[in-house]
Amino acid sequence: MTTIISIVALLLAAAPAWAFDAEQTFKKGTFVLSGEGAYGWQTNLEHKRSASHVEFYDAGVRFSLLPLDTIARSSFLYGALEVGLEPLYQHYTTPKQAFWAGLAAVGRYHFLGLGRVVPYAELGGGAGGTDLDVREINSTFAFLVFGGLGASIFVSNKTALYAGYRYQHVSNGNTSQPNRGFESNVGVAGISFFFP
């Protein structure tokens, strides 16, 4: 009986730690620092006869702000907007070693109706330098744009682990030839810290 009482007492004591107040975490003016990594591979949606089968991993650090109060509290769109800048490094491993490095602007919309599990939708794009030389693109400059979906799990009121999917396009915007560009499927994972 003493053991059961002890377990119940521990669970009751732990309950406030698991409480999550989205209004406080996603308060207007909150600064968000995120570190993330990703792995991606080229997709051949146009069914071109020749594809380079590009594979890569990347790493980035995002510095963001929550510029607005939460919106649509009484609907399924209840959420918060995050906007930020992310220095991003993408290292190509296949078909040969190469890189893209630049600065991306990223916007995320966090859906807050599920408590500690917070789905998100994101859009991002940036410009940077590259030495990737494949049949789809060969230039020293390229744009990188992406959109994706994912979810964060808050392990505390100020710390979240997240994972998601991105669809990415790399192109030099016809600044040089060739510029067929390429699309990729990307899996991303990271951690975010919220500083109100």
In terms of average pLDDT, the best of 9-18, 39-48, 112-121 is: 112-121
CA 75 to chain centre: 24
Q: What is the predicted pLDDT for the residue at 18? A: 56
pLDDT surpasses 60 at 21: yes
| Helix (H/G/I), strand (E/B), else coil: 119 | strand
20-195, which class in CATH?
Answer: mainly beta
Residue 186 Cα distances to 65, 68, 129, 193, angstroms: 24, 29, 20, 23
* Average pLDDT of the residues in 55-77: 96
Q: What is the predicted pLDDT for the residue at 153? A: 97
Specify whether the CB–CB gap between 190 and 35 falls below 8 A.
yes
Q: What is the predicted pLDDT for the residue at 8? A: 44
With bands split at pLDDT 50, 70 and 90, how would you rate the model's confidence at 5? Answer: low
Q: What is the predicted pLDDT for the residue at 87? A: 98
CA angle 142, 146, 148 (to 5 degrees): 165
Question: How does pLDDT run across 95-124, given as a tens digit for each residue?
Answer: 999 999 999 999 999 999 999 999 999 999
- Assigned token pair, 122: 């994101």
Q: What is the predicted pLDDT for the residue at 10? A: 43
Domain boundaries, the chain: 20-195
pTM: predicted TM-score of the whole model, two decimal places: 0.86
Q: What is the predicted pLDDT for the residue at 88? A: 98
Specify whether the CB–CB gap between 121 and 109 falls below 8 A.
yes
